[in-house]
Amino acid sequence: MSTQSDTPAYLQAQNSTLKDTWATYLGRVRGGDMGPLPAVIGLIVLVILFSFLRPVFFTPLNFANFFTQAAVVAVLAMGIVFVLLLGEIDLSAGVTSGVAGSLLAVTMARNGLSWYVALALALVVGLLIGLFIGVLVAKVGIPSFVVTLALFLAFQGLVLVIIGEGGNVRVTDPVILAIENSNMPIWLGWTLYVVMVLGYVLAALDGRRRRLARGFSGTPLSVILIKAAVIAVVGFATVWVLSLERSTNPEVNPLSGVPIIIPIIAVIALVFGFILERTKFGRHVYAVGGNVEAARRAGIRIQQVRIAVFAICSTTAAFAGVVAASRAASVDPNAGRFIVLSAIAAAVIGGTSLFGGRGRIYDALIGAAVVAVIDNGMGLLGYSAGVKLMITGGVLMLAAGADALSRKRSTSTGR
Amino acid sequence: MTTSPILEVRQVTKSFGAVDVLKGIDFEVIPGTVTALVGDNGAGKSTLIKGLAGIQPFDSGEVTFEGVKVNLNEPRDAAELGIEVVYQDLALCDNLDIVQNMFLGREVKRGLPLDEADMESRAGETLKSLSVRTVKSLRQKVSSLSGGQRQTVAIARAVLWNNKVVILDEPTAALGVAQTEQVLNLVKRLSEQGLGVVIISHNLQDVFEVADYIYVLYLGTMVVRLKREDTSPSEVVEYITGGKTNNAGSNGDLV
């Protein structure tokens, strides 16, 4: 029966050319699935705007500062994406990072723990907090908004209790300090750059080869090449600028190299991205976020998925607390109080839907960059923290509005 | 029909509080045939199906599958036996594509990562074996599909897993004429492949087009089981509305 011309459309070559791929992408954007596109455009506009208003914005020193400033929000946002994908929220992620950071600082300073024991302790406490939230949400059935709002208050108190009298704990351990304050040697930056570009090309080619072997059309070579070229150029520019001498006083205090936090964030993003996009668990996260009932009927264990995402989020938040402690070289009783909305804003600006089911880890990084650029640029322009908070809040509102509208649009064009 | 039933339900009951929704139902499904389940709203059709799917376990009674007594306490139990229910509200994830939906909950892995190419090719083969032609791409998000296409995906998903019994809840309710025809053809092809197919429908025209046996539920009791050749739509309507009961004398098999 089935001759060549009889082959159904879905078994024929698809997106096998650059043109097809572009047309498919345009169709998705028109359908309301814009992904990180608004965030990327916003980021470019903001960078141009701030460079114009404040030339110091576009200096190597500020460029490096930007990464270390963005790091805490970026790490936290990557954790929060998991929770948002289920349509849940974790308002306590910020103060969880505060609890973990203060535990780390206090156990090292007062109990003399070595950095790796204190780090492990902080992460385990984060994990336990996440499991606790997850059980309350999944098993007991309290809305995540309420559970995490309660913990948002409780953990502010817990941080006070951990830090105790004195109000401020210094972090002096060189390894912990290195996370946010040290740079890699120039050669290592370039080596990692080459590894990254080659790794991307090889992975893309391998995926293409595997699809071709199955008789499918793989990603067109031209598309792989264009993506690789973008990664190569952006990566080259980044590593090159960060390898320049950026100290204001180079004779006394030479300063150059890629900050260590960049590869740390890259590794977290790669691991989380792999979990979400390539594993069974990740697929189930999207399914539960998209349609709980469908997921349940497909035999997915919903409660376990719920508990797991909160565990991932809080553990990641704990690490964000360690990064924050490293950056400030100390922990104070306000630790983590203000940061959670910036992180949620980062995830949402990057294209993660508050309604669940849509969003990616890498997009959260772009969102975190937007939040950090606003913070950094407005700081340079001399605006107060109050104005910065208001602007960030406004941008979050804007992103959430765009999310709601695009959802409306995709339901109206979808069927 | 000489083949023995693959699924047999004996005297199952289900109550919600004081309301007895199923009052001792008998029901059977024979492989390679289409069994229609009809009845007015509130007759207990959905409750019976939810029991078989393991979503709302029965209160009492016995379910036998391939001659063995089984317990259906959660969706997983039904899935493991090879009973698949395609729901009226479709139970697809809009944010996932066709392949991802077809393999939902039963993803194929290659080591740790998912084997997307394998899943895609198997999904394609299944759709092709059902002569599905209306879908453009297997990587389309389900949100972009029409009602008929969504129904097709949901049914194809049931076939993919070599299920033995496929239960379709109102598969044509939301569809236009051409799409209804496609879905009914799909239903026939399922039974030709040797599956036991159960179809719930309010549309007697559809029922008479595909069904071999017709069961009529009336207020929680199974009134009658009819062979399609031996009955007519008007007789079925009488049973559905309670205008005719089995005791009043019928030419159908006594249940």
Quote ipTM for the complex: 0.86
pLDDT band (50, 70, 90) for residue B1? very low
A74 neighbors A265 (Cβ within 8 angstroms)? yes
Within an 8 Å CB–CB cutoff, is residue B124 touching chain A? yes
pLDDT band (50, 70, 90) for residue B247? low
pLDDT tens per residue, range A1-23: 444 446 777 777 666 777 888 88
Within an 8 Å CB–CB cutoff, is residue B178 touching chain A? no
Q: Is B198 helix (H, G, I), strand (E, B) or coil?
A: strand
> Chain B interface, mutation test: which of A26, A279, A291, A300, most B Cβ atoms within 10 Å?
A291
> Chain A interface, mutation test: which of B56, B74, B96, B136, most A Cβ atoms within 10 Å?
B96
| Cross-chain residue pair A279–B113, CB shorter than 8 Å | yes
Mean pLDDT across B29-45: 90
| Cross-chain residue pair B147–A415, CB shorter than 8 Å | yes
Which chain B residues contact residue A300 at CB under 8 A? 104-105
Which chain B residues contact residue A2 at CB under 8 A? 128
- A336 Cβ neighbours under 8 A, 6+ residues apart: A94, A95, A96, A97, A98, A99, A101, A155, A159, A317, A320, A321, A324
Measure CB to CB from residue B94 to each of A213, A291, A298 and give the nearest one: A291
Number of Cβ within a 10 Å radius of residue A210: 16
pLDDT tens per residue, range A169-211: 999 999 999 999 999 999 999 999 999 999 999 999 988 888 8
Q: For residue B216, is pLDDT > 80?
A: yes
Mean pLDDT across B207-216: 91
Q: Output the pLDDT for position A132.
A: 97
| Cross-chain residue pair A358–B95, CB shorter than 8 Å | yes
| Cross-chain residue pair B55–A283, CB shorter than 8 Å | no
Which chain B residues contact residue A410 at CB under 8 A? 143
pLDDT tens per residue, range A292-303: 988 988 888 999
| Cross-chain residue pair A10–B127, CB shorter than 8 Å | yes
Q: For residue A415, is pLDDT > 60?
A: no
Query: Among A406, A372, A410, A412, which residue's Cα sits nearest to residue A392?
Result: A372
Q: For residue A405, is pLDDT > 70?
A: yes
Query: Among B237, B236, B209, which residue's Cα sits nearest to residue B225?
Result: B236
Angstrom distances, CA of residue A185 to CA of A252, A323, B90? 18, 20, 56
| Cross-chain residue pair B109–A280, CB shorter than 8 Å | yes
Q: What is the DSSP code string of A275-339?
A: HHHHSHHHHHHHHHHH-HHHHHHTT--HHHHHHHHHHHHHHHHHHHHHHHHHHHTEE-TTTTTTH
Angstrom distances, CA of residue A315 to CA of A31, A94, A318, A358, B172? 35, 11, 5, 22, 47
**Distance between CA A253 and CA B245 in Å, rounded?**
97
B54 neighbors B14 (Cβ within 8 angstroms)? no
A232 neighbors A198 (Cβ within 8 angstroms)? no
**Distance between CA B63 and CA B10 in Å, rounded?**
6
Within an 8 Å CB–CB cutoff, is residue B114 touching chain A? yes
> Chain B interface, mutation test: which of A12, A297, A408, A415, most B Cβ atoms within 10 Å?
A297
pLDDT tens per residue, range A303-319: 999 999 999 999 999 99
**Distance between CA A71 and CA A316 in Å, rounded?**
12
Long-range residue pairs from A263-272, CB within 8 A, at least 24 positions apart, any chain: A263/A184, A263/A192, A264/A179, A265/A71, A265/A74, A265/A75, A265/A365, A266/A196, A268/A75, A268/A78, A268/A316, A268/A319, A269/A78, A269/A361, A269/A362, A269/A365, A272/A78, A272/A81, A272/A82, A272/A312, A272/A361
**Distance between CA A160 and CA A139 in Å, rounded?**
30
Q: Output the pLDDT for position B44.
A: 87
Q: Which B positions 55-74 lie with beta carbon below 8 A of chain A?
A: 55
Q: Output the pLDDT for position A15.
A: 67
Per the DSSP assignment, residues forming a β-bridge with B196 are B165
Average pLDDT across chain B, whole number:
85
Going along chain B from its start, the domains and CATH numbers come out as 7-248 (3.40.50.300)
What predicted TM-score, i.e. pTM, was given to this entire model? 0.88
Taking the CA of residue B39 and the nearest CA in chain A, the distance in Å comes to 24
Mean pLDDT across B65-78: 87
pLDDT tens per residue, range A215-273: 777 788 888 999 999 999 999 999 999 999 888 888 888 888 999 999 999 999 999 99
Beta-carbon pairs below 8 A across chains A and B? 114
Which chain B residues contact residue A280 at CB under 8 A? 107, 109, 114
Angstrom distances, CA of residue A13 to CA of A17, A23, A191? 9, 15, 38
Within an 8 Å CB–CB cutoff, is residue B91 touching chain A? yes
Taking the CA of residue B239 and the nearest CA in chain A, the distance in Å comes to 32
Q: b/e for A83-120, b at 16 or more Cβ within 10 A? A: bbbbbbbbbbbbbbbbbbbbbbbbbbbeeebebeebbe
**Distance between CA A349 and CA A35 in Å, rounded?**
10
**Distance between CA A331 and CA A50 in Å, rounded?**
31
A79 neighbors A314 (Cβ within 8 angstroms)? yes
